[in-house]
Chains A and B, each alone.
Chain A
Amino acid sequence: MLSRARVTEITEITSNHYYLLLEDPQMARESIPGQFLHIRIRESLAPFLRRPFSIAGASPGEGTLKIIFRVAGEGTRILSSVRQGEYLDCLGPLGSGFKPLKGPVFSALVAGGVGVAPLLFLARTLVQEQKKVFLFYGASSLGELIPVRRFLPGEIEIHLATEDGSGGFRGLATALFEEALRNGLKPGEIFACGPRPMLQALAEKNREWDYPMQLSLEERMACGIGACQGCAVKIRKGEETGYRPVCRNGPVFYSHEVVW
């Protein structure tokens, strides 16, 4: 659905990263973790296309949705200057969501950079399902780490990593996660979102591990609803491979489905 959502808050939460709270009761009700909003940054020809943003949280009670984004280019730079009380043209919620297993399993979430956004939403719903949740979250440096604690219930065990060692574990979130596995963590399911090389590394390792692993992919999008096939990635279904749009068949795929 297409809607004009009211901006109720916009705050810089860490260097170059913004927290955006949107008011739209229907979208808040319909959203599930893993889905995204396709936002028209402003009504002009520049930037021309909509931009997809993972939903970082939704509260149907308050009728609000959370977006966390990093300023990565012209579109996100303009979005970061939106003011409280303004309206944003949003298409969504779009895409498939994460599909958590039923029952009391340990859930491991592995996040790189702003890829943590959809996992924050997911973490909340997993906790509501009485699951034990572990988050392994990494960024390049302490200044880039999003203060995730304030977006998460206290029950979640958070492990932080920075590439330069300025905060938490020194290295990548995936290395931190692997260390936890070596130390005996036995997740029943894994969810990951982050830069493509990170997801590829996890998917390749998972050929041995063989956990149920779901990845949220990112691609440049045009229509956002599966019509243009612009954001297609190569996906394996059984014996067959073919291009499938991330916006509609994804953004969440099982790790064994993605052809890298």
Chain B
Amino acid sequence: MVNMEANLGPLKLKNPVLTASGTFGFGEEYSSLLELEKLGALVVKGLTLKPRQGNPAPRIVETPAGMLNAIGLQNPGLEFFLSKELPRLKNYQVSVIVNVAGDTENDYVTLARELSGEEGILALELNLSCPNVKKGGILFGTSAQTIDRLVRKVRQACNLPLIVKLSPNVTDIAELARAAENSGADILSLVNTLRGMVIDITTRRPFLGNITGGLSGPAIRPVAVRMVYEVYRAVNIPIIGMGGIVSVEDALQFFMAGASAVAVGTANFIDPYTIPRLISGLHSYLESENLSSMEEIIGLAHMV
């Protein structure tokens, strides 16, 4: 018998494959293609206090084995989420994790407080790493001091398991991971997108409306695997690993680097059935290796 459950400290999931925030909307679009119940968890699109329009077009551009995006956290805001999206999500037996973002510390605290009392939300993910908005987002996520202040305040404002999503656009991710752990994070998720840009040589201008965007897809996978490996050594809290996962083999690298669960983002755009395919693929892997749970392979790459 194979146990597919993911054990993320205070957060228990039926399997270890989640959606990466921003790639699955609020689940509605994909619900006609696949059973949301199959997901380890649905991490919804980054939510802010007030609705956000997002960035001007063009917002995406394909790159070698990946893409740049600069959506700019377009979302309908907290009120709409609570009145429309969350009640709809309750129709599915799916674990919902809400990704929250803000311009100020107060935004995060208010969001955490408001969401904390709501039924049907399993955990919060603090987006401290969005590279595509002018204020907030990544600004909080690139120094140990700002992470520490913010996570402490949010920790006091809510009793849900707290996931802190880290940016790869930093010099030493392990230091920031430790800051998040010390200030009360229960779980870390990494990595968000890497900042990049494409120039349109015909117009001789940056291609994206936002000038720069976040790189995702298999192009960033080796960077993400390395960062999960480094963070695993630095902290004692569980890690959700992500960055360019397309195949079962890709996911296994993240577990072996130290992730207790993985998230799939850009691959959903190419194959909407990536997550169910990975779940059954991981199951088969455990069976063929005579392992009883994913726990047995977490961090194996660190063994000497």
Interface residues in chain A, defined as those with a beta carbon under 8 Å from any beta carbon in chain B: 1-2, 40, 45-50, 91, 219-234, 242-243, 248
Contacts and interface: CB of A to CB of B under 8 A. Distances in A.
Contacts of B61: 220
Interface string B65-86: 1110101001000000000000
B69 A230 contact: yes
A48 B71 contact: no
Q: Is the interface of B mostly helix, strand, loop or mixed?
A: loop
B59 A227 contact: no
Nearest to A44: B65
A228 B60 contact: yes
Given A228-B71, A230-B71, A242-B53, 18 more contacts: A45-B218, A45-B246, A46-B64, A48-B218, A49-B269, A50-B270, A222-B266, A223-B23, A225-B29, A226-B25, A227-B25, A228-B60, A230-B60, A230-B69, A231-B60, A232-B57, A232-B71, A243-B57
A131 B58 CA distance: 37
B25 A220 contact: no
Contacts of A226: 25, 29
B249 interface: no
A16 B231 CA distance: 51
Contact of B62 (A220, A224, A242, A248): A220
Contacts of B271: 40
Given A48-B66, A48-B270, A233 B57 contact: yes
Interface residues of B, number: 34
Contacts of B266: 222
Contact of B29 (A49, A221, A223, A233): A223
B217 interface: yes
A224 B23 CA distance: 12
B29 A222 contact: no
B269 A228 contact: yes
27 contacts: A1-B33, A45-B64, A45-B246, A46-B65, A48-B64, A48-B65, A48-B66, A48-B67, A49-B62, A50-B269, A220-B60, A221-B60, A222-B269, A223-B268, A223-B272, A225-B30, A226-B29, A227-B30, A228-B60, A228-B269, A230-B59, A230-B69, A231-B59, A233-B57, A234-B57, A243-B74, A248-B29
Nearest to A75: B62
